A and B are shown apart, each in its own frame.
Chain A
Amino acid sequence: GQNIDQPTEMTATEGAIVQINCTYQTSGFNGLFWYQQHAGEAPTFLSYNVLDGLEEKGRFSSFLSRSKGYSYLLLKELQMKDSASYLCAVTYNNNDMRFGAGTRLTVKP
């Protein structure tokens, strides 16, 4: 199988930092994506990791360890508008993109 696991829900405070973890099956791994999805809207692309290490893009960073089948999305200086679901998605060599169930993040004042 190609299970992708991430926490169901997280809560954090405005201005804080939050880390959303994602684990996946490593066999056939091609690349890992993070998407943001606000309620009632389509997912929008946030980041892509194919090599080990940290990719930084403004307030958002994404980390990948291919040997461990592990990634995290780091959100800094949280804002209320960051309240959304964050989807971890993995592409495999068969060209399939598989999505995790998503982590619903609630940012509180």
Chain B
Amino acid sequence: SAVISQKPSRDICQRGTSLTIQCQVDSQVTMMFWYRQQPGQSLTLIATANQGSEATYESGFVIDKFPISRPNLTFSTLTVSNMSPEDSSIYLCSVDLAASPDTQYFGPGTRLTVL
């Protein structure tokens, strides 16, 4: 497994502002992912964070709204831009250790509330 940390753990933000969430892993990993989990819902994949290249976004998610950085194999950031109350959610990063099976391990999540 891997130890995954996220900052901040929670935040309350004003409409129209942006928040950057950090994800740090204690070992080098090839695959990192960002998910959103809205209240009472399951996880929805936002994008795959690719090291050294642009992230791969899922349908319904765009780079202008959710810019992602992946400067190295242990770190990634997700920015939630121009926030609205609909962005209130838990944001989780996960890693795939590329072992067999391709199990994903999740960070503790960032609970975002937009007023």
Could you say which residues of chain A place their CB within 8 Å of the CB of B101?
31, 33, 48, 50
Interface size on B, residues (CB 8 A): 17
Q: Is the CB of A42 within 8 A of B42?
A: no
- Give A40-70 as 1s and 0s: 1 = Cβ < 8 Å from B's Cβ atoms: 1111110010100000000000000000000
Q: Is the CB of A91 within 8 A of B106?
A: no
| Cβ-based interface call for A107 (8 A) | no
What is the distance, in angstroms, from B105's C-beta to the closest C-beta of chain A?
7
Q: Is the CB of B42 within 8 A of A91?
A: no
| Cβ-based interface call for B67 (8 A) | no
What is the distance, in angstroms, from A36's C-beta to the closest C-beta of chain B?
11
Could you say which residues of chain B place their CB within 8 Å of the CB of A48?
101, 103
What is the distance, in angstroms, from A39's C-beta to the closest C-beta of chain B?
10
| Cβ-based interface call for A105 (8 A) | no
A33 to B104, CA, bound (A): 9
When the two chains form the complex, which single residue of B43, B107, B109, B111 contacts A99, counting CB atoms closer than 8 Å?
A: B43
Q: Is the CB of A87 within 8 A of B42?
A: yes
| Cβ-based interface call for A101 (8 A) | yes
Q: Is the CB of A100 within 8 A of B42?
A: yes
Q: List A1-49 residues whose CB lies under 8 Å from chain B.
A: 31, 33, 40-45, 48
Could you say which residues of chain B place their CB within 8 Å of the CB of A97?
33, 45, 104
A40 to B10, CA, bound (A): 11
Q: Is the CB of B43 within 8 A of A43?
A: yes
Q: Is the CB of B102 within 8 A of A31?
A: yes
- The residues of A with any CB-CB pair to B shorter than 8 Å are 31, 33, 40-45, 48, 50, 87, 91, 95-102
